[in-house]
Amino acid sequence: MDEKSRVLVVGGTGYIGRRIVRASLAQGHPTLVLMRPEIGLDIDKLQMLLSFKKQGARLVEASIDDHPGLVAAVAQADVVISAMSGSHIRSHNLLLQHKLVEAIKEAGNVKRFIPSEFGMDPLRMRHALEPGNITFVEKMDLRRAIEEANIPHTYISANCFAAIFCPNLCQMRTLLPPKEKVHVYGDGNIKAIFVDEDDVATYTIKSIDDPRTLNKTIYLRPQENILTQNDVIAKWEKLSGKVLEKIYITADEFLASMKDIHADTDFANQVGVTHYYHIFYEGCLTNFEIGEDEAEATMLYPEVQYTSMDEYMKIYL
């Protein structure tokens, strides 16, 4: 393929979506970004869209609720990437992605669809605890619709976004490094995987024209960034020159902490507790081998110079 595929990004102003737009432009793809009329007075969103246009993207106007408009948008692209927000943030968003699948089905021209996954592999999370299981149930439901419609696809399992999980030393409810004490999950020796968000976007765009990733799950496992919580803490202690007090939390204590969280007003933290449990007590990101019918991004694209967590955390000093 010598012509670069045309990419449509849905959710392009979001946390991971904006990086996917930039990576698509950087890798030379004609890039379309959905601009929703619901933008209203959100001036930051508008200015981000305009900055994409300045960088060469084309803005395509349509609402997710406007089926003909969405079909027309999708019809202009070879590849559609959804980066719509997680369902536990706004509970109707997965239904919105089903509308996107309907539009892709009708347009009939899309050579690859990347649904909004970018985290733990929902297929491997069928045992997940409530209420966090909603993330995986809904992502699997969307997969079913994609596969039933025979839409060519790639699922990206991006593991832990660095800014959310690493500089805070895997602590919840903060994004900053702790100054005195750190809560350690169990003995702190379960391996997790951390990925710079720009690298998530780079690998995602690398995969879209690749026959090796067709109808497969691609795991992002940068070797240097497969780290235990203790590894992450030690890296920060070395960078900062300070030793932190460690408070060890058993799995039962951690799960019991959910009772202190108000389910109605703080659903995201309830969901978060169960997700953190699976990652840091169970080891769900690393307790399996990548199968025959799957692939790993750093092996597919060894030319990408990914960011190590030492480098990533330096900026927090």
- Report DSSP state, residue 279: I
What count of other Cβ atoms lies within 10 Å of the Cβ of residue 273? Answer: 20
Residue 39: both structure tokens together: 């933008």
Task: Give how far Cα 184 sits from Cα of 19, 95, 246, 259, Å.
Answer: 31, 37, 6, 19
Stretch that binds ligand GO6, among 33-41, 210-218, 230-238, 269-277 (CB under 6 A): 269-277
Least CB distance to ligand NDP at residue 116 (A): 4
Using CB distances below 5 to 8 A depending on partner kind, what does residue 93 bind out of ligand GO6, ligand NDP, none?
ligand NDP
Pick one of 11, 12, 30, 86: the residue that binds ligand GO6 (CB under 6 A): 86
Check binding of 268 to ligand GO6 (CB under 6 A).
yes
Check binding of 272 to ligand NDP (CB under 6 A).
no
Cα(273)–Cα(256) distance, integer angstroms: 10
Residues 6+ apart with CB under 8 A from 169: 177, 178, 182, 229, 232, 233, 236, 244
Compute how many residues bind ligand NDP; rule: CB under 6 A: 27
Stretch that binds ligand GO6, among 92-100, 141-149, 165-173, 304-312 (CB under 6 A): 165-173
Residue 279: both structure tokens together: 């990652």
Check binding of 129 to ligand GO6 (CB under 6 A).
no
Q: Are 249 and 216 in contact (CB under 8 A)?
A: no
The three-class DSSP label of residue 171 is coil
Check binding of 172 to ligand GO6 (CB under 6 A).
yes
Least CB distance to ligand GO6 at residue 62 (A): 26
Stretch that binds ligand GO6, among 3-11, 65-73, 159-167, 254-262 (CB under 6 A): 159-167
Peptide bond into 37 cis (omega under 30): no
Using CB distances below 5 to 8 A depending on partner kind, what does residue 306 bind out of ligand GO6, ligand NDP, none?
none
Cα(112)–Cα(110) distance, integer angstroms: 6
- Report DSSP state, residue 153: B
Peptide bond into 131 cis (omega under 30): yes
User: Segment 160-179, which members bind ligand NDP (CB under 6 A)?
Assistant: 160-161, 164
Using CB distances below 5 to 8 A depending on partner kind, what does residue 13 bind out of ligand NDP, ligand GO6, none?
ligand NDP
Pick one of 21, 77, 114, 117: the residue that binds ligand NDP (CB under 6 A): 117
Using CB distances below 5 to 8 A depending on partner kind, what does residue 268 bind out of ligand NDP, ligand GO6, none?
ligand GO6
Establish whether 139 is a catalytic residue: yes
Cα(255)–Cα(109) distance, integer angstroms: 46
Which is the catalytic residue, given 45, 111, 139, 181? 139
Name residue 41's amino acid: L
Using CB distances below 5 to 8 A depending on partner kind, what does residue 271 bind out of ligand GO6, ligand NDP, none?
ligand GO6
Point out the residue whose Cβ comes nearest to ligand NDP.
Answer: 14
Residue 137: both structure tokens together: 């149930």
Cα(228)–Cα(213) distance, integer angstroms: 28
Stretch that binds ligand NDP, among 15-23, 201-209, 213-221, 225-233 (CB under 6 A): 15-23
Active site residues: 139
Q: Which residue ranges make up the site for ligand GO6 (CB under 6 A)? A: 86, 119-120, 135, 159-160, 164, 168, 172-173, 175, 268-269, 271-272, 275
